[in-house]
Structure 1
């Protein structure tokens, strides 16, 4: 389901890479074939493939594709989420703290307040305690 949703979002984008799209569709049809064989064969023919989808090899798993370069972190001020930012997974706690405090929304939320404590849960959350 997530793959289908991601594919739909990609199709709505203005810039499309047709070779990438075909590669994704080919693998998607291969994965779908055991569960929906007739539909998969029809889609396989629509892609103008020469042989049956069942004569193809199963897609190869690439574990490096699961490694994220960036992660979305929620920023809370006094326990309420005020913003979300994308930061590198290699960034340390001080870097995450600095990026959080530089965010315009957070600056506005902290205006006139004193920051008492900044709690960083790496990869998930930054909680700023202020009064």
Structure 2
């Protein structure tokens, strides 16, 4: 059994913001529509993306495929205005409650979660074919 350190106690129950990045230097970021509660996307943040998001109020992430910082909407204009950042109990994941300026998904769908698994097939749930 793992001994609980003072840092663990502070991280899990205290008031100090102590983000816990994984071995790759990332934490999970779920983006939720501030008004509807709909889950819009999942991405990853490194310390630079988290700092840029906090400073600008616009969601920034770490692109694992490009290996660099990116601001959501930097080319499409479909930015995410972050209104609240919720931090989970062990500070290795966040929820960004955001106001989207257009579709959140790079496919043009409102949310990246626009399909459901039915048996072995995916079905669109957003009314599109």
Range into which the TM-score falls when normalised by the shorter chain: 0.3 to 0.5
- Structure whose residues are more often helix by fraction: 1
Q: Judging by fraction of residues, say which structure has more strand.
A: 2
TM-score, normalised by the number of residues in structure 1:
0.32
With structure 2 as the length reference, what TM-score do the two structures score?
A: 0.32
Higher relative contact order (CA 8 A, sep 6+): 2
Kindly name which structure, 1 or 2, has the bigger radius of gyration based on alpha carbons: 1
